[in-house]
Amino acid sequence: MTNIELETGGSVWKLLVAEGDAVEEGQTLFILEVMKMEVPYEAPHAGTVAALHIAEGDSVAEDDLALVIQA
């Protein structure tokens, strides 16, 4: 289980996976918008999206748990 936590606050611009999806290492999971920059978050390893805590348009804060990947 790997928790993907947010390094900064911002808003969720694009969510590219759904709960239960299989993901590859390096696959872009979602993109935050922070100060007009798009900040992609990638899967650190292959697995399945076990839990999803964000939705497109959400305002999010630093250290928020975005999703969980089960290897």
Q: 30: burial class by Cβ within 10 Å (0-12, 13-18, 19+)?
A: buried
Compute CA 60 distance to the chain's CA centroid, rounded to the nearest angstrom: 11
Judged by CB under 8 A, which stretch of 19-27, 38-46, 49-57 contacts other proteins? 38-46
Q: How many CB atoms lie within 10 A of CB 43?
A: 19
First to last CA, the chain: 6
Q: Given candidates 15, 16, 39, 65, which one binds other proteins under the rule CB under 8 A?
A: 39
Q: How many residues of this chain interact with other proteins, rule: CB under 8 A?
A: 9
Q: Given candidates 14, 26, 27, 37, which one binds other proteins under the rule CB under 8 A?
A: 37
Q: Which is nearer to other proteins, 19 or 42 (CB)?
A: 42
Does 50 engage in binding with other proteins (CB under 8 A)? no
